[in-house]
Amino acid sequence: MRRAIFPGSFDPLTLGHHDIIMRGITLFDEIIIAIGKNADKKYMFSLEQRIKFIEEAFKDVPSISVKSYEGLTVDFCKKVDANFILRGLRNPGDFEFEKAIAHTNRKLSEIETVFLLTSSGKSYISSSIVRDVIRNGGDYTGLVPDSVRK
């Protein structure tokens, strides 16, 4: 079985994330959306809210699930028997950052990282931009799935 994790904070889930996950599920038998817990980070949405957003967004896709984890992503991969990490790339800056992490993960384990380019119409969307729009009362509805809009 080809099981991948798609790690992130998903604060909140965006249409960019959704795009990568839906395209990634054509490559893997199962994707676990892995919400990493970082005690040093201040989140806009609680872990429970983020899990609910994701579960609702993918409720009709049984091969997609969501779990939270702490610690190294490669250790979580081993725990859930995932051989792949799925990552989305929006721009060259993302590539340089993600490449360094992928090389480190490969050094620590046999986990392979698979990169997908975000669709061109969604490449500008990031969770931090969405949070800024929400904080400032802007219209964020075109940036997130229906589950986050509710």
Please tell me the pTM assigned to this model.
Answer: 0.93
List, as residue ranges, the binding site for substrate.
9, 41, 73, 87
User: What is the per-residue burial (b if ≥16 Cβ within 10 Å, else e) of 3-20?
Assistant: bbbbbbbbbbbbbbbbbb
Identify the pLDDT of residue 94: 86
Average per-residue pLDDT for the chain: 95
Mean pLDDT of 103-127: 92
Domain 3-149 falls in which CATH fold? Rossmann fold (3.40.50)
φ and ψ at residue 69, rounded to 5 degrees: -155, 160
Identify the pLDDT of residue 4: 98
Identify the pLDDT of residue 120: 84
Which residues form the catalytic set?
Answer: 17, 41, 90, 127
Q: Cβ(28)–Cβ(86) under 8 Å? A: yes
SS (H, E, C) 29-43: CEEEEEEECCCCCCC
List, as residue ranges, the binding site for ATP.
9-10, 17, 88-90, 98, 122-128
Q: How confident is the model at residue 77 (pLDDT cuts 50, 70, 90)?
A: very high
User: Percentage helix, strand, coil, to 5, in the chain?
Assistant: 40, 20, 40
